[in-house]
């Protein structure tokens, strides 16, 4: 896999480049998945970033909490009923005490679900290869194209430069 990208000093420049690539994607025969933005930090307030906002993890977390709570309820109540051992004059399935276990299982369900949803949603772990550049760590934002179509590379390069790139680079292999 190859990549052709421009490095931009600020999010405004990155937004310009992104808009440029997107609007020219049919002309330059690019699929939207080929356009890549890489940054060393989140950039709220810019469309290329905000467009990726999502609220599905919240719903998954609620679902996970419900599943956890149900599991906690079944774990406590069913096991207490099926193997009845009396202690201290309490009922076999006291709601107060079982409720504590249910509560903890609700929270655990939400936590584990959030973790799994993050990993899946962010595509992690991903060891296949990513575009990366040391300048990203120094604050630049990378906007570019993976596997640019043959022959259109000079045109792409020109457009990236036009958007105000600090530098335009190619990389032959992706960083593992």
Partner 1 sequence: MQTTAEQIEQDLLRPLFHSSGKYWIAVAIATSLLLAGVAAFGYQLYAGIGVWGLNSPVFWAFDITNFVFWIGISHAGTLISAILRLTNATWRRPVTRCAEAITVFSVLIGAIIPLCHIGRPWLAYWMIPYPSERHIWPNFRSPLAWDFFAISTYLTGSTTFLYLPTIPDFAAVRDVSTGLRKKIYRVLALGWQGTPRQWQRLEVAMHIMAVVIVPVAVSVHTIVSWDFAMTLVPMWHSSIFGPYFVAGAIFSGIAALILAMALLRKFLHLEQYLRPIHFENLGKLLLTMSLLWFYFTFAERLTAWYGNSPPEMAVFWESIRKNFAPLFWTMVVCNFIIPVPILAIKRLRTITGTAIASATVVVGMWLERFLIVVPALEHKFLPYSWGTYRPTWVEDTLMASSFGMMALLYLLFSKFVPMISIWEMKVGLQSHAGVPMVAPAEGQVALEGPQ
Partner 2 sequence: MAHKWGMVVDLDRCTGCEACVVACHAENNIPTAGEDQAARGRAKHWIRVERYWEGDFPNPRVRFQPVLCQQCDEAPCEPVCPTYASYHTPEGLNSQVYNRCIGTRFCANACPYNVRFFNFYNPEWDKPLQLQLNPDVSVRSVGVMEKCTFCVQRIKAAEIQAEAEKRELKDGEFTTACAQSCPSKALIFGDLNDSASEVARLASSNRGTKLLGELGTKPNVTYLERGTWEDANHG
Which residues contribute to the site for partner 1 (CB under 8 A)? 9-12, 36-43, 48-49, 51-55, 57-58, 61, 75-76, 79-80, 83, 85, 87-88, 90, 94, 97-98, 100-101, 103-105, 107-108, 110-112, 114-115, 117-119, 121-128, 130-132, 134, 136-140, 175-176
The answer to whether 26 contacts partner 2 (rule: CB under 8 A) is no
Residue 28 DSSP class = T
What is the helix (H) or strand (E) element at residue 105, kind and residue range?
helix 95-121
Tell me the closest approach of the beta carbon of residue 49 to partner 1, in angstroms. Answer: 4
CB-nearer residue toward partner 2: 85 or 122: 85
- Quote the CA–CA distance of 120 and 115 in Å, as a whole number: 9
Tell me the closest approach of the beta carbon of residue 22 to partner 1, in angstroms. Answer: 13
* Strand runs labelled E in 103-157: 141-146
Tell me the closest approach of the beta carbon of residue 97 to partner 2, in angstroms. Answer: 8
Which of 119, 124, 121, 117 lies closest to 67, judged by CA?
Answer: 117
- Quote the CA–CA distance of 33 and 30 in Å, as a whole number: 8
- Quote the CA–CA distance of 42 and 7 in Å, as a whole number: 16
With CB under 8 A, what is the number of residues at the site for partner 2? 7
Q: Which of 52, 54, 88, 150 binds partner 2 (CB under 8 A)?
A: 88
Q: Which of 86, 122, 126, 151 binds partner 2 (CB under 8 A)?
A: 86
Q: 83 phi and psi, to 5 degrees?
A: -130, 75
The owner of tokens 């896999």 is: 1
Q: Residue 76 touches which of partner 1, partner 2, none (CB < 5 to 8 A by kind)?
A: partner 1
CB-nearer residue toward partner 1: 122 or 172: 122
- Quote the CA–CA distance of 41 and 161 in Å, as a whole number: 23
**Contact footprint for partner 2 (CB under 8 A):** 85-90, 97
């Amino acid at each position: 896999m190859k990549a052709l990208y421009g490095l931009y000093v600020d999010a405004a420049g990155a937004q310009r480049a992104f808009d440029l690539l997107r609007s020219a994607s049919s002309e330059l025969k690019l699929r939207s998945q080929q356009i890549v933005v890489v940054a060393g930090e989140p950039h709220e307030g810019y469309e290329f970033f905000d467009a990726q906002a999502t609220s599905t993890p919240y719903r998954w977390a609620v679902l996970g909490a419900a599943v956890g709570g149900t599991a906690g309820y079944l774990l406590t109540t069913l096991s207490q009923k099926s193997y009845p051992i009396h202690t201290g004059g309490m009922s076999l399935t006291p709601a107060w005490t079982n409720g504590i276990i249910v509560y903890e299982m609700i929270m655990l369900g939400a936590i584990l679900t959030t973790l799994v949803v993050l990993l899946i949603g962010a595509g992690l772990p991903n060891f296949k290869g990513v575009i990366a550049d040391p300048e990203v760590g120094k604050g630049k934002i990378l906007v570019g194209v993976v596997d640019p179509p043959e022959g259109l590379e000079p045109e792409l390069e020109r457009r990236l430069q036009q958007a105000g790139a600090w530098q335009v680079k190619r990389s032959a292999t992706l960083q593992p």
